[in-house]
Structure formats: structure tokens, C-alpha cells
Amino acid sequence: MRADYTQGYLTRQFLYLKTALEKQVGRHISDSSLAESIAIYNENRRLLHRLYQLRRAHPKLFKARDTAVIVGACMLMPKEEHSRLLYQFLEEAEKIIPPSDGRIRLILSGCMCDMPELEVLDLVEELGAVVSDDDFYVGRRYFHSLTDEGLSPIDALAQRYIEDVPCPTKLDEKQDWSQYLATLLKDAKAAGIISVALKYCEAHLYDVPSLSANLSQKGIPNLMIETSHSGATGQLRTRFQAFLETL
């Protein structure tokens, strides 16, 4: 069941979590240490934004699987180390300007709680398209919003959770997922959207029919697929090919 979150409710939940963690680790978590951590995370998010802006400008520069792996790595590595390596990488990557080859640009969305299937990303590129942006959890969703460093840390964390990108796991009538994707498509100069839903991910699958209908009403070509970690199957190849031929 999806919850209707409010700022006050989430602030209380974050405080409860903070107290529970303090009991577990046996030490006080100060506001200053939280603020320091927020600043470290924000710096990493800014670098990931920079990576994605570079991909928008030159989508051929990175393979979609490599971008997903870079974001996935930041979830496992110490943020300071990941930021240091990513900064060095970007400094070199921004010196390269690959020639444009006119490939169809796509937005890939979905995979709310998991790494996107890398074979599926490879298949999109194998068929002659490029991923110019994404709406994956192990992707833009992870770093899209910064945490406000001008607020108290707990209030800032609660605010970011509420005001982050539209998500089918959170009920907020003010947010329109299809409009968010439409804006993403326009900004990334993409021609269509492929939404990838994992089998049995009910929160996502419940929203798929209305999401597809709303995108179609906006005149945005879209393809909705359901996968079960089966990789790039022949059926999936056929569906991707048919979709690309309509663009």
C-alpha cells in the first residue's frame, strides 16, 4: 500500500530512525555530522548531474551500461572516494567530442528498486539507438534532487524525500509522473520512452497503464515492457525493433 506522506510525518519518522540508530551504534548523531554528510552526498550528486549532462550532449560518448555501473558504484563506495574518481574521469571525458551519427535518442524508465538489466541496455544500442537519459533508480532517480543545506538536517532530508521525482511508491496527487518524463524527454532531445517494469513490482505495474495512456495523450511514443531478469530475449529484440521503426 502506498502512503500519503507529509512533511511533519516524515520529520517524525526520520527522528525516530535517528534515535534507533543512536541506540544501535551507541553514540549520538549530531546535527553537524549530518550536515557534513549531506554536503558530501550533494557534491557526489552534482558530479553525477555533470556526467548526465555530458551524456545528453554526447550520448555516444558513454555506453548505457557504463553509466548505470558508475551510478551503482556510488551506492557501494565511500562517497568521497567515488567523487574523487568521478571528478578525474569527467575532467578527461569532457575533452572528448565524438561525432554525431544521428542515432535515435531514447529515455529509459523503470527498474524502481534494482539495477537495470545491462543486457537490455546493450540491446537498445545494438539496434541502433542511444540512451540520452534515464529514469532508473540506479540512475537519475538516485541523484536528481539535492538536499537543502540551508535547513536543519532532519527537515532537509524529509523535504527531499517528499519533493523528489514522482515515484509510484509514493502517493502525491500534485506530482505527475508522465509530465516529469515528458520534460525529461524534451530536455534530453529524445524521440521516445521505453519503460521497463520488473515482474511482480506491483507498485510500478499498477501505474503502467495510466502512465502509458498519459504519455500517448501528450503525443510521446512509448513502449512498456515487463521483464523478469531474463535478459535480452528474442521477443524483446522484436518489440524494440518494431518500436524503433515507428520513430
- Rounded percentage of the chain residues whose pLDDT exceeds 90: 67
- Rounded percentage of the chain residues whose pLDDT exceeds 70: 94
pLDDT score recorded for residue 233: 67
Planar angle of CA 63, 69, 75, nearest 5 degrees: 150
Residue 2 pLDDT > 50, yes or no? no
The fold of 7-245 is: Rossmann fold (3.40.50)
pTM of the model: 0.91
pLDDT (mean) for 45-54: 97
pLDDT (mean) for 171-196: 90
The SS3 assignment for 109 reads strand
* Cell 523535504, residue located: 159
Q: pLDDT tens, 192-243?
A: 999 988 777 777 778 888 899 999 999 999 999 887 766 556 788 999 999 9
- Res. 174 pLDDT band, cuts 50 70 90: confident
C-alpha 195/C-alpha 104 separation (Å) is: 16
Sequence ranges of the domains in the chain: 7-245
pLDDT (mean) for 30-45: 97
User: DSSP letter string over 183-239?
Assistant: HHHHHTT-SEEEEEEETT-HHHHHHHHHHHHHHHHTT--EEEEEE-S--S-HHHHHH
Asked whether the beta carbons of 141 and 121 are under 8 A apart, the reply is: no
* Cell 550536515, residue located: 35
162 vs 19 pLDDT, higher one: 19
pLDDT (mean) for 53-76: 94
pLDDT score recorded for residue 222: 96
The closest alpha carbon to 147, from 19, 52, 14, belongs to: 14
Residue 171 pLDDT > 80, yes or no? no
Out of 18-27, 57-66, 226-235, 237-246, least confident range: 226-235
pLDDT (mean) for 62-78: 94
Q: pLDDT tens, 92-151?
A: 999 998 887 889 999 999 876 677 788 889 999 999 999 999 999 899 999 999 999 999
